[in-house]
Chains A and B, each alone.
Chain A
């Protein structure tokens, strides 16, 4: 399993983040939204079948989060910390390698 592409950002933001009011309400930290884990919004979660994948990257291209990244072997990896479960990847997958299943918490 590859590491999250946002790992460095999360570490950087967590170090610099503070809720102290800044002059003019300016946000000084770029990409500070990574602290906001939107994965809790999810009802259906994408389940990935590695054998069916043809590595066309359509799921990576169309993910609006972005919560899909690619590992060393070019397979997509799903970041469940941020995936909101919209299902675009499952709908666009040409080989139906991604299936939306109800999440059990």
Chain B
């Protein structure tokens, strides 16, 4: 892909494209955009492993491949273990893994494959401290199989097995904080990122490449199909999630927390601005919304205290 030199200077992202068009993601997919940024950052110097999730289909059903990089498709619960295996194999063959010009081993799993099914493999991967990167793209339900709830679904959301109404109920449990579970393992690097802030995301990817040891990034990726939102609002939703402090951007490195600029710029907006754009929250009562708002602000205060305590 040829991009003129004068444009390259003004672009805030790497100009090379290793994520090819013609993939089968839905219109306005956040996960596809996330994959595009990861391939922009690592080019073809990365080996990917993807378990069963939407991205299996985006990366290509046989005989198609959307990537310009090698890809290993694996079983649902084994992403963490496969990253460790590929890393050990590369090292045994004498390749340089991680570091400035080393090969990156990237696991890319959804929130179901991370927070529910793949949790033990993720824990093992972090505990054994493999030189790899695990990216969890968070679209807050099992979207590939038809919008079933996962433990990452927020309280009050509609999904096909929490449909609401008189006989059934909406999602009852709050969102599982996978990033806190990860930080409890004391990894080399952990961070949250959003597709609405690609410069911040690519900076974190490059940082994860430099730091030796296990790294983890939780990426917020809206899903218009499952969230019942218009396809053109994906980026706006991801941005509002950060601005309302529903999904604050921060990084954890060597025992220190740092809240990143997009989250610290202004005071959090009211959560209702984020909720009203999505059809999955339209069954919530006023009390539900107030309770969710309180939960969001409490988590945000907790994070700010942690950042102050461990700086």
Residue numbers of A with Cβ under 8 A of B are 5-6, 9, 17-19, 22, 25, 27, 29-38, 41, 57, 60-67, 69-70, 72, 74, 79, 81-82, 84-88, 90-92, 100
Pair A87/B28 contact, Cβ less than 8 Å: yes
Given A33-B60, A38-B22, also A66-B234 (CB < 8 A):
no
Main SS class of interface, B? loop
What are 21 sample pairs from A and B whose C-beta atoms fall under 8 A apart? Answer: A5-B2, A25-B62, A27-B60, A27-B65, A33-B23, A36-B22, A38-B24, A60-B11, A61-B13, A62-B198, A64-B28, A64-B32, A66-B21, A69-B1, A82-B21, A86-B27, A87-B28, A87-B231, A91-B232, A91-B236, A92-B236
B19 at the interface (CB under 8 A from A): yes
Assess the B20–A86 pair: CB atoms within 8 A. Answer: no
Asked whether B28 lies within 8 Å of A86 as measured between CB atoms, the reply is: yes
Which residue from B29, B32, B230, B235 sits with its C-beta under 8 Å from A92?
Answer: B235
Closest to A92 in B: B235
Q: Does B21 contact A29, Cβ atoms closer than 8 Å? A: no
Smallest Cβ distance from B235 to chain A, in angstroms?
Answer: 5
**Could you tell me if A38 and B21 are in contact, using CB atoms closer than 8 angstroms?**
yes
Instruction: Give Cα A35–Cα B28 distance, bound, in whole angstroms.
Output: 21
- Interface range on chain B: under 10, 10 to 19, 20 to 34, or 35 or more? 35 or more
The answer to whether A30 touches B68 (Cβ under 8 A) is: yes
Q: Using CB atoms and an 8 Å cutoff, list the residues of chain B in contact with chain A.
A: 1-4, 6-7, 10-13, 17, 19-25, 27-30, 32-33, 36, 44, 60, 62-69, 198, 224, 230-236
- Write the chain B residue with the least CB distance to A85: B27
**Cβ contacts under 8 Å, A17 to chain B:** 63
* B24 contact set on A, CB distance < 8 A: 33, 36, 38
Partner of A91, one of B4, B64, B235: B235
Of all chain A residues, which has the CB nearest B28? A86
CB neighbours (8 Å) of A31 from chain B are 20, 65-68
Whether A88 touches B22, Cβ cut-off 8 Å, given contacts A5-B1, A31-B65, A32-B60, is: no
Whether B20 lies near A88 (C-beta < 8 A) is no
Q: Are B3 and A32 in contact (CB under 8 A)?
A: no
| Residues on the B chain within 8 Å of A81, using CB | 21
A11 to B230, CA, bound (A): 35
Q: Which residues of A contact B2 (CB under 8 A)?
A: 5
Residue of A whose beta carbon sits closest to that of B6:
A74
Return chain A residues, CB-CB under 8 Å to B19: 66
The answer on a CB contact under 8 Å between A27 and B4 is no
CB-CB under 8 A from A33, the residues of chain B are 20-24, 60, 64-66
- Once A5-B2, A27-B60, A36-B64 are accepted as A-B contacts, the answer to whether A88 and B21 lie under 8 Å apart by CB is no
CA A36 to CA B63, docked complex, whole Å:
11
Q: Within 8 Å CB of A35, what residues of B?
A: 22, 64
- Bound Cα distance A35, B21 (Å): 9
Q: Please tell me if the beta carbons of A34 and B63 are within 8 angstroms of each other in the complex.
A: no
A26 to chain B, nearest CB (A): 9
Q: With A and B bound together, what is the CA distance between A63 and B35 in angstroms?
A: 12
**Residues of chain B lying within 8 A (CB to CB) of residue A9:** 20
Q: Once the chains bind, are A88 and B234 in contact (CB under 8 Å)?
A: yes
CB proximity of B173 to chain A, nearest CB, Å: 30
Chain A residues positioned under 8 Å from B235 (CB to CB): 62, 88, 91-92
Closest to A57 in B: B11
Residues A67 and B3 in contact in the complex (CB < 8 Å), given A25-B62, A92-B235: no
User: Which of B21, B22, B67 is A30 in contact with, Cβ under 8 Å?
Assistant: B67
